[in-house]
Structure 1
């Protein structure tokens, strides 16, 4: 083909390009090929636009008026006619394998992709361990102190710091990984290898065990160093809320990439929401102190639900008296008066953590299926 997509030769090459050479040497004015010269190089040289102008010919027109062109058209017409008794091709599904097989194949591929990416997996665990040791040493033994309101603020501060440090780090670190994987997905989906939902399932599922390990490492270190009450229920609740917090932050980072063209725009968009979540988390300004016209966003802020669950699960059932400066009241009553936290609301808080996690994962899967930011 010449520049512009016009055909100048369609046919067999022959041994050492003999048929190709014979065809072009038959054109009046074309120089003969020299002995030992590369036929492909020679063909490109003799069919350039400047050579056409010098010879006063048009190679596309020569081909369209040639016997070779007529033979090709006849062959196409013959091959285009179905054989007697033949049936049209029919495929029961778009993909050769079932959705479950596609999910398993994509999950296996993602497993090896993460295994071969230690800068992402191991560095995240190292950062988690470092933050756990730093916060544990900074708030050493404060989890068992409930003599005054400041002790509760300090314990809540350890939870608040961990949520922001680890959550934002998880969301930010997963974005370049998802951005690269999405580029590969575009190519493989175009080849009909698997569906968008299978890829999204694998990308979400592969993070679940990795984040579980991360939550366990952080939970065991911090829970023991800060000295929260060692009961099975409270330790479980602490791990539960930290695990789902890291999950929804990670899925939020994936979702931000899914709805934007690239990781750079995703990081800008997601950073704006981190600041808003920080403001409405209930730590800087408790929910009862937030103006009524903005209080609705407190309930839409996932970080607020995390802090609600962490604080209430650890201190919401304590009936010991504490000093609040002006009076003495139980820890349970102080949390209700100052933060609006109820221990009886713990089940709803746990459910909302699951809802946010599933919601962000669903939006990521939906965006992968609907949006296509591929540049051709």
Structure 2
């Protein structure tokens, strides 16, 4: 509890991180909302669907990588303080790591709700309670796992600069295997295994399947229903959403766990 209280005041007194992230998210939400205005309600052409799905794909990578990058200097500075205070016997690594993870939860929730409400309304996705909940759910845990991924890269590397290089190396790979640039059915068999371990692919799967995977009334120019096209082209099934949600939460917990263990095991202090 003492560690959590310490993190609370540390974050509260750091508006360059907390407030700027919130303002940046609002700006991006308005930018994407105006750029993809009302595309969510247009499902008569393949291009309409690509536009709507593109809004999700761009948001995941744009805001996700921003979260991962912006948290790195915060964690790097806090880690230096942690080394001194742990040496003084004030607390151990695991309680500190848990507090660092927990303090991000409300801030990321505010970020996800802010972005989700603005974009969902402006893009014009279907106003269904379940669809809106799933949209917020996947956005929230996506922002979380990107944030925890950024924290993890700091914990496993000696400094922020190396952490940034390590983190950036995977952004391009996650982008390539997200399932948007190259849909899963079109990925060569010998590379398809990586699609299934790419967190961004599972996020996009969940978002698209919950919004369009059950649409059997709208038909595109090929005379397919939206549901059939989504399943054929992207390989998304609406009855697989629960698995996608489970995996996204799993990645969030995995990155948080690696962060905590790395903080306990590794010591990069210069002697």
What's the TM-score bracket when you normalise by the shorter of the two chains?
A: over 0.9
Deviations 1:11-57 (A, max 9, x none): xxxxxxxxxxxxxxxxxxxxxxxxxxxxxxxxxxxxxxxxxxxxxxx
Query: RMSD value over aligned CA atoms?
Result: 0.6
Deviations 1:144-182 (A, max 9, x none): 111111111000000011111100000000000000000
User: Is this contact kept in 2: 1:321–1:328, CA < 8 A?
Assistant: no
Q: Could you list the structure 1 runs, at least 4 aligned residues long, displaced by more than 4 angstroms after superposition.
A: none
What is the TM-score with the length of structure 1 in the denominator? Answer: 0.72
Q: Partner residue of 2:232?
A: 337
Q: Partner residue of 1:192?
A: 89
| Match of residue 258, structure 1, among 137, 144, 155 | 155
| Match of residue 290, structure 1, among 182, 187, 190 | 187
Q: Structure 1 residue 323: deviation in Å?
A: 2.4
Higher relative contact order (CA 8 A, sep 6+): 2
| Match of residue 145, structure 1, among 20, 42, 66 | 42
User: Any stretches of 5+ residues in structure 1 without a counterpart?
Assistant: 1-103
More helix by share: 2
**How do 1:16-55 residues align onto structure 2 when only pairs under 5 Å count?**
none
User: Is this contact kept in 1: 2:220–2:226, CA < 8 A?
Assistant: no
The separation in 2 between residues aligned to 1:107 and 1:323, in whole angstroms, is: 52
Q: Partner residue of 1:86?
A: none
The separation in 2 between residues aligned to 1:185 and 1:127, in whole angstroms, is: 29
The separation in 1 between residues aligned to 2:213 and 2:180, in whole angstroms, is: 16
The separation in 2 between residues aligned to 1:313 and 1:322, in whole angstroms, is: 17
User: Any stretches of 5+ residues in structure 2 without a counterpart?
Assistant: none
The separation in 1 between residues aligned to 2:241 and 2:133, in whole angstroms, is: 13
User: Is this contact kept in 2: 1:142–1:155, CA < 8 A?
Assistant: yes
User: Is this contact kept in 2: 1:149–1:322, CA < 8 A?
Assistant: no
Counting matched residue pairs gives 271
The separation in 2 between residues aligned to 1:216 and 1:317, in whole angstroms, is: 24
Q: Partner residue of 1:215?
A: 112
